Amino acid sequence: MSTPAQLADELLAVLFDADPVSASLYGDRDRDHRLPDITADAEYALRERAEDIRIRAMAVDTAHADLEQRLTIAVVVHQAQALVDRCDARLPEYTVIGNLFAPVAGLLFHLGQVPISDPLQAEDFLRRLRRIPEFTTAAAQRHRAGVAAGRVPVRPLVDNAIDHLDGYLAAPEGDSLLIPNLHDPALDRTRERLLTDVVHPALRRYRDVLADEIAPRARAAEQPGLCWLPGGHEIYLRLARAQITTDHTPRELHEIGLAHLAALRGEVAELGGKIWGERDPDAVLHRLRTDQALYWRDGEELLASARSAIARAQAAAPKWFGRLPSQPCEVRPVPGAASDTTPIGFYMSPALDGSRPGVYFANTGQAAQRPRYASEVIAFHEVVPGHHLQLSLAQQRTDLPMLRRLISINAYTEGWGLYTERLADEMGLYSDDLARLGMVVQDLLRAARLVVDTGLHQFGWSRQRALDHLLSRTTLSRVEAAAEVDRYIALPGQALSYLVGRLEIERIRAAAQDRLGAAFDIRRFHDMILRHGALPLSTLDVLVAEELD
């Protein structure tokens, strides 16, 4: 019988086979020449491998296993089941959008972030470029299969993907695939030829398939959720549970979101009174949306604010954490056309081999429509004390199976990120009450996500109803709200993980404080939460209780 560590290694191999570009980004070089195989046959084979590992992991007797072995089994079972659920959802058939959540646009973005450190890696990068036509052909075929089965993408998102490809192809000088440094003029010339003769024609053919075959058959904007697809309610339930790692039903999540939205209006009123003497929450939100003095002049000003907030957080962190990451984090703008459809900010973990630092991508596109008051809270969420601290610490646990050093379980990962937004307030990191109001505004968004995600996929909301809900209850601009809604459509259930995870971490912390009283040590608690890498929330709860004994 396989050991927990062996099962973890097997599953990581499955995950890396499913996404070889992610393997490269983590510093694993065994698959540097490969692209994902998104054919139906490959997806079925991955599912069978994951299910076999899950069954064997469930059969492991953990009665006499040590703590880390038990945690490894819990992670393997969860991650294997999550992969099975994703395969059963047949996502490549109907996930079409012009951002990193879709197969083609995501491949273009992530390939552009792969570091090239030697001639062999450069040659492998060129081999990947030669295989892009195979990838786009497979994507087109999956879309056609989806059309035949009644599993079709959403028309506005297909249009967005077409616009993204049009913009990408119209500006070859800004091609993200030119970013990796190949360190050789001859290889650079080969890359340029491949882009011109191989990659761009393949993307044009794929673009034409979307325009001519898929868009005319796509779902209308009035039917964007999974509930409009065959078996969609069951697909959504399984995808949502994989994200949140709890048994909350979609209706329960919807109600939790509504309750939090109502409660947060009091905080909006309190801070609005302090800043402007305005205690009507609707008036405060209106001012936040419309006062141009509260928005950025340009992208450089946005980047400078993020870097300043992160520097403050790094200086304060030793008082709140016993362990800190050794890897640096850079702040970079979202490159090229990707800024049109990506979130306001996101984080990419460092490579294990040190070839690439952690990166916080701040979206400087359309900077004049992006609010100043949200900059600090998003930087804290994505970098320190948020994801960079969290994920880098997991990578440093060289005694753990690689799976546990690398994987993200969204309820844990995003729950921690949202927890740290309020923790940053405890740490005194926000520069003023306006920045603290930005923290509350981000809370409004996360509560609204529970309502909108379930509204779309469980209750059949239209895209416009989802957009109206966000615009009326948050401070998002129309461009940001549209990007949010389209993200929920393209990535069902992921948006649920933030608030669900934070509430569970806060509950676990409150229980620890009640149990320990004056002996409670916040540094020790945070180290307990972060020491073991990403875990399902139920496992995290048991872990903290055991470590407090």
User: Angle at CA 348, nearest 5°, toward 427 and 470?
Assistant: 70
Q: Is the confidence at residue 355, as pLDDT, over 90?
A: no
Q: What is the distance, to the nearest Å, from the Cα of residue 533 to the centroid of all Cα atoms in its chain?
A: 17
**Helix axis angle, 103-111 relative to 119-149, nearest 10°?**
170
- Kindly indicate the confidence band of residue 374, based on its pLDDT and cuts at 50, 70 and 90: very high
Q: What is the distance, to the nearest Å, from the Cα of residue 185 to the centroid of all Cα atoms in its chain?
A: 35
Kindly list the distances between the CA atom of residue 289 and the CA atoms of 64, 137, 294, 426, in Å, as whole numbers in the listed order: 57, 43, 8, 27
pLDDT reported for residue 81: 98
Share the mean pLDDT of the chain. Answer: 95
3 state DSSP class of 346: strand
Rounded Cα–Cα distance for residues 440 and 173 (Å):
40
What percent helix, strand, coil does the chain show, rounded to 5? 70, 5, 25
Please classify residue 428 by burial: count the beta carbons closer than 10 Å to its beta carbon, then call 0-12 exposed, 13-18 middle and 19+ buried: exposed
pTM of the model: 0.93
Tens digits of per-residue pLDDT, 246-257? Answer: 999 999 999 999
Rounded Cα–Cα distance for residues 52 and 50 (Å):
5
C-beta of residue 288 within 8 angstroms of C-beta of residue 373: yes
C-beta of residue 374 within 8 angstroms of C-beta of residue 344: yes
pLDDT reported for residue 338: 58
- Kindly indicate the confidence band of residue 340, based on its pLDDT and cuts at 50, 70 and 90: low
C-beta of residue 369 within 8 angstroms of C-beta of residue 344: no
C-beta of residue 76 within 8 angstroms of C-beta of residue 98: no
- Kindly indicate the confidence band of residue 352, based on its pLDDT and cuts at 50, 70 and 90: confident
Q: Is the confidence at residue 341, as pLDDT, over 80?
A: no
User: Angle at CA 407, nearest 5°, toward 16 and 115?
Assistant: 60
Least confident of 43-57, 63-77, 172-186, 326-340: 326-340
Token pair of 81 as six digits: 């089941």
Q: How far apart are the first and last CA of the chain?
A: 32
Rounded Cα–Cα distance for residues 349 and 347 (Å):
7
Token pair of 473 as six digits: 């209850």
- Kindly indicate the confidence band of residue 146, based on its pLDDT and cuts at 50, 70 and 90: very high
3 state DSSP class of 522: helix
pLDDT reported for residue 356: 87
Q: Is the confidence at residue 37, as pLDDT, over 70?
A: yes
Q: Which residues of 72-89 are buried (b: 16+ CB within 10 A; e: fewer)?
A: bbbbbbbbbbbbbbbbeb
Mean pLDDT, residues 21-49 taken together: 96
Of 302, 332, 297, give the one whose Cα is nearest residue 109: 332
Of 378, 325, 361, 373, give the one whose Cα is nearest residue 475: 373
Taking residue 131's Cβ as centre, other Cβ atoms within 10 Å add up to 17
Strands of the sheet containing 345-348, edge to edge, are 329-333, 358-362, 345-348
What phi and psi, each to the nearest 5 degrees, are found at residue 224? -85, -15
